[in-house]
């Protein structure tokens, strides 16, 4: 059993990713989408993640709603339940699986991968490693747990420090070496402070960034205008940008259409991840995503 200090527990709780399907907030949208799309876009469109060459579906299936301590709302569905949810998404055109060690969803994803064409799946996972030796161990363990010889995207999970690109350089070097050896296809980070996000935007090492974005600033690193400004800097640098907290961890549950229209309309996200908790929710979400 894992044991966390109170500080670690609070930090990891704050850093849980993927949209939760609960709660409502009555705030009005303070920021309209900054650009519009003339053509409807769908969840199953094939997109390219930055300059990585990785092609996948626009929508990623999140497995970490309220995810920390090796548990999430998705893993609560059980091995068979979450595996079946992922398989249903795959059968309906979703090719992007979003997992992490912190969510405890590796075994569930591994089971789903047994029933689909692995070569057509983009597998993104995340590590809390902050030491080079820890990251080496995680790379080996994650591949064993997921029953795969390579990872498509590996992220440093939940970075908050403004100086993380120098403080954790040895960890970054391990991921660079792994990419050179074909162990992974792209590396990057998920950020949980505006300082960490700005550092990621300026780092040539970051190929993919998992970023928190929604129109009301819920569970984000800063207000939407500030965050979008940093994302435009990332976009100009050719980084892959995958959005999370699209529904504000549930605060926009009953305004999903507006939240999705905002995410698509920004024109800076290559893809985005949302965690459904049932096949019915997954189907409803996919139905809503073709937005103008």
CATH number of the domain to which 224 belongs: 3.20.20.100
Q: Which stretch of DSSP H or E encloses residue 234?
A: helix 224-236
3-class secondary-structure state, position 107:
helix
Residue 36 lies in a domain: no
Phi and psi at residue 225, in whole multiples of 5°?
-60, -45
Does residue 159 sit within a domain? yes
Look at residue 27 and tell me if it is in a domain.
no
In this structure, is residue 39 part of a structural domain?
no
**Would you give the DSSP letter of residue 116?**
S
Residue 7 lies in a domain: no
Question: Rounded distance, CA 132 to CA 167, Å?
Answer: 11
Q: What is the pLDDT at residue 208?
A: 98
Q: Is 194 inside a domain boundary?
A: yes
Residues of the chain with pLDDT under 50: 1-14, 16-37
Listed in sequence order, the residues at least 6 apart from 198 whose beta carbon sits closer than 8 Å to its beta carbon are 162, 230
Residue 9 lies in a domain: no
pLDDT at 250: 85
pTM (2 d.p.): 0.87
Whether 105 is covered by a domain: the verdict is: yes
Measured CA to CA in angstroms, residue 208 lies from 77, 167, 217, 231, 238 at distances of 29, 19, 22, 12, 9
Q: Is 24 helix (H, G, I), strand (E, B) or coil?
A: strand
As a whole number of angstroms, the distance between CA 212 and CA 241 comes to 10
List the domain range (segments joined by +) for residue 231. 47-288
> Domain total for the chain?
1
Q: What is the pLDDT of residue 68?
A: 80
């Amino acid at each position: 059993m894992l044991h966390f200090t109170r500080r670690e527990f609070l930090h990891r709780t704050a850093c849980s990713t993927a949209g939760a399907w609960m709660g409502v907030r009555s705030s009005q949208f303070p920021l309209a989408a900054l650009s519009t799309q003339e053509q409807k876009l769908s969840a199953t469109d094939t997109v390219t993640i930055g300059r990585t060459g990785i092609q996948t579906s626009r929508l990623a299936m999140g497995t970490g709603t309220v995810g920390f301590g090796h548990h999430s709302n998705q893993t609560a569905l059980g091995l068979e339940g979450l595996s079946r949810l992922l398989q249903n998404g795959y059968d309906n055109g979703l090719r992007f699986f979003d997992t992490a060690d912190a969510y405890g969803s590796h075994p569930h994803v591994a089971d789903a991968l047994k029933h689909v064409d692995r070569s057509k799946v983009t597998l993104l996972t995340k590590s809390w490693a902050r030491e080079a030796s820890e990251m080496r161990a995680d790379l080996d363990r994650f591949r064993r747990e997921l029953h795969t010889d390579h990872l498509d995207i590996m992220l440093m999970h939940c970075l908050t420090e403004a100086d993380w690109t120098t403080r954790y350089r040895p960890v970054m070097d391990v991921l660079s070496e792994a990419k050179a050896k074909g162990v992974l296809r792209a590396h990057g980070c998920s950020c949980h402070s505006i300082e960490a996000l700005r550092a990621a935007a300026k780092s040539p090492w970051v190929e993919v960034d998992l970023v928190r974005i929604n129109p009301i600033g819920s569970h984000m690193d800063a207000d939407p205008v500030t965050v979008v400004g940093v994302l435009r800097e990332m976009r100009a640098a050719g980084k892959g940008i995958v959005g999370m907290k699209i529904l504000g961890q549930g605060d926009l549950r009953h305004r999903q259409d507006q939240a999705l229209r905002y995410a698509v309309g920004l024109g800076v996200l290559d893809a985005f991840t949302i965690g459904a908790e049932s096949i019915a929710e997954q189907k409803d979400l996919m139905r809503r995503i073709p937005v103008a």
